[in-house]
């Protein structure tokens, strides 16, 4: 290998394992443009990169049904999924994939009064080193209520080359949130909390700028921070990465923390503290998406949410806040995946 190239690789490296992998791939003549040769190992029956059909004449119901069939389900909301085999088995319960009776005491630790009232499993394959170097894209993401075999939410993308997506509630096919990614430097992602009283198609939720809903500009805390700030009618929130101390307290290999950073009046009087924890996404051997690795980027885990603050809120519902927490956590995973890919592509430049 040319000495100058080797020096560039070393200067751009971010971790020893990644550097060794890059050197090996370079020696084998594999570049970032090489196409994937085999699909990702989807251990529990979920395709790594399923994509929604793009037939403009197909109804949203058929789109979602076809997508659910790609996940292994034979019937969705009483409708046979297109092309399904009535003898095929549905995906396993998450309680089978991640044993539900192994509860981590860390999930209920008192982090400034944090008491989870909702527990969800975010199923995202994300990227490992091989995928980062072959340009594989993120899949549609399913979110399960802990212990349930049926998806509670699905984050759906219409195109492989666009990360813009819509969060759909599976039970009634309602489009709840959309996340729009815009091309160009300094153009932050936007989220839209859709009007719960309007029926919006997945395509309109992503493409129609005039669709009813609250538009949110997602902003970074600072130029050098990965923390993201969301100023909404539900409150002002920040997703950030947990400190080493917080990770150790949760027995987490990777910890994402969502906090409410504005103050709010409490039912018993007084105001909440700025920085009250609302949610945390834990990834470790117990909770990370089955089939993914510790050093993957953008892979899923167990999402714990404390919704008590909204139990007596007359202007919004805990369910609406839960959907926002889910959609924004997926946005954080997408950003993490991009960061992971950029780092590893830099190694082979």
Q: Which structural domain range is residue 295 located in?
A: 60-346
**For 29-33, 119-123, 275-279, which range has the lowest pLDDT when averaged over its residues?**
29-33
Same domain, 143 and 281: yes
Q: Are residues 203 and 276 in the same domain?
A: yes
* Tokens encoding 268: 């018993």
Same domain, 10 and 137: no
* Domain shared by 139 and 257, yes or no: yes
Q: What is the pTM of this model?
A: 0.70
Considering the domain architecture, whether residues 70 and 24 belong to the same structural domain is answered as no
Q: How many domains does the chain have?
A: 2
Tell whether 229 and 328 lie within a shared domain: yes
> Mean per-residue pLDDT for 117-122?
98
Q: What is the pLDDT of residue 11?
A: 37
What is the per-residue pLDDT for 223? Answer: 81
Q: Is the pLDDT of residue 225 over 80?
A: yes
Q: Is 104 within a domain?
A: yes
Residues 14, 97, single domain; the answer is no
Residues 171 and 300 in one domain: yes
Nearest Cα neighbor of 237 from 326, 119, 325 is 325
Report the C-alpha gap between 15 and 281 in whole angstroms: 24
pLDDT value at 344 more than 80: no
Those residues whose C-beta lies under 8 Å from the C-beta of residue 42, and which sit 6 or more positions away, are 48, 125, 291
**C-alpha span between 216 and 170 (Å, rounded):** 24
Weakest-pLDDT range from 264-278, 286-300, 314-328: 264-278
Which of 67-71, 254-258, 312-316 is predicted with the least confidence, judged by mean pLDDT? 67-71
Sign of CA dihedral 122, 52, 165, 320: negative
Asked which of 146-160, 302-316, 334-348 is least confident by mean pLDDT, the reply is: 334-348
In a domain, 38, yes or no: no
The answer, yes or no, to whether residue 182 has pLDDT greater than 70, is yes
Claim to verify: residue 187 and residue 299 sit in the same structural domain: yes
- Alpha-carbon distance of 34 to 135, in angstroms, equals 8
Could you tell me if 24 and 161 lie in one domain?
Answer: no
- Per residue in 146-166, pLDDT (tens digit) is 999 999 999 999 887 788 999
pLDDT of residue 112: 55
The pLDDT assigned to 131 comes to 60
Give the orientation angle of helix 16-27 with respect to helix 318-346, to 10 degrees: 50
The backbone torsions φ and ψ at residue 171, rounded to the nearest 5 degrees and listed phi first, read -60, -35
């Amino acid at each position: 290998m040319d000495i100058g190239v080797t020096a560039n690789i070393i200067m751009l490296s971010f971790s020893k394992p990644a550097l060794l992998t890059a050197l090996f791939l370079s020696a084998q003549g594999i570049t970032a443009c090489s196409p994937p040769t085999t699909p990702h190992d989807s251990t529990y029956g979920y395709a790594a990169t399923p994509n929604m059909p793009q037939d403009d004449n197909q109804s949203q119901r058929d789109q979602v049904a076809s997508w659910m069939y790609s996940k292994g389900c034979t019937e969705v909301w009483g409708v046979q999924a297109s092309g399904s085999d009535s003898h095929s088995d549905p995906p396993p319960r998450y309680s089978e994939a991640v044993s539900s009776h192994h509860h981590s005491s860390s999930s209920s630790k008192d982090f400034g009064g944090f008491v989870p009232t909702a527990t969800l499993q975010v199923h995202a394959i994300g990227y490992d080193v091989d995928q980062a170097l072959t340009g594989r894209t993120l899949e549609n993401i399913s979110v399960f209520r802990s212990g349930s075999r049926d998806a509670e939410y699905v984050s759906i993308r219409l195109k492989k080359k666009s990360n813009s997506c819509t969060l759909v509630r599976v039970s009634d096919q309602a489009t709840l949130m959309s996340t729009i990614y815009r091309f160009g430097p300094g153009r932050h992602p936007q989220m839209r909390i859709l009007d719960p009283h309007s029926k919006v198609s997945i395509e309109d939720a992503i493409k129609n700028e005039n669709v009813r809903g609250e538009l949110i500009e997602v902003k970074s805390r600072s130029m050098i921070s990965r923390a993201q700030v969301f100023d909404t009618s539900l409150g002002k929130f920040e997703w950030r990465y947990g400190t080493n101390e917080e990770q150790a307290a949760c027995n987490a290999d990777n910890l994402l923390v969502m906090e409410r950073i504005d103050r709010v009046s409490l039912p018993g009087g007084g105001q909440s503290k700025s920085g009250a924890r609302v949610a945390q996404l834990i990834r470790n051997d117990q909770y990370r998406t089955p089939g993914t690795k510790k050093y993957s980027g953008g892979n899923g885990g167990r999402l714990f949410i404390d919704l008590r603050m909204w139990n007596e809120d007359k202007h919004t519902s805990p369910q609406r806040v839960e959907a926002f927490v889910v959609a924004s956590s997926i946005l954080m995973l997408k950003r993490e995946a991009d960061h992971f890919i950029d780092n590893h592509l830099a190694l082979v430049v």
